[in-house]
Amino acid sequence: DAKTTQPNSMESNEEEPVHLPCNHSTISGTDYIHWYRQLPSQGPEYVIHGLTSNVNNRMASLAIAEDRKSSTLILHRATLRDAAVYYCILRVFQGGKLIFGQGTELSVKP
């Protein structure tokens, strides 16, 4: 399974943008890039996904490098409720199981 590499932790100030990087140099052509986040004491929740083009939704934006070997999750204005572990995942086509890595623990300071 293709692997992803993320920083272990990042800090942000409230109401500032946050850029969470992810490297996935072994990505294959059919792998979708998914981001999930896990708030304390909860199950993971879907944030956003993309294949080749940049994507926006109400929660975040996803910027995908042209060669698809890296991507960046962008939270436009971090809030205290965004403090969570963010996982960058390459979605396996067959069956759709998610292969989680260590994730990035984001802390948000008021």
Q: Which two tokens stand for residue 87?
A: 């996982």
**Element housing 109 (H / E):** strand 104-109
Touching other proteins, residues 87-106 (CB under 8 A): 87, 91-93, 95-103
Site mask, other proteins, residues 49-68, x = CB under 8 A? x-x-----------------
Buried b / exposed e across 19-49, counting CB within 10 Å, b at 16+?
ebebbbeebeeebebbbbbbeeeeebeebbe
Phi, psi of 36 (to 5 degrees): -125, 160
Site residues for other proteins, 1-40, by CB under 8 A, read: 30, 32, 34
Residue 43 binding other proteins, by CB under 8 A: yes
Which of the stretches 13-21, 43-51, 66-74, 75-83 binds other proteins when contact is defined by CB under 8 A?
43-51
| Contacts to other proteins by CB under 8 A | 30, 32, 34, 42-46, 49, 51, 85, 87, 91-93, 95-103
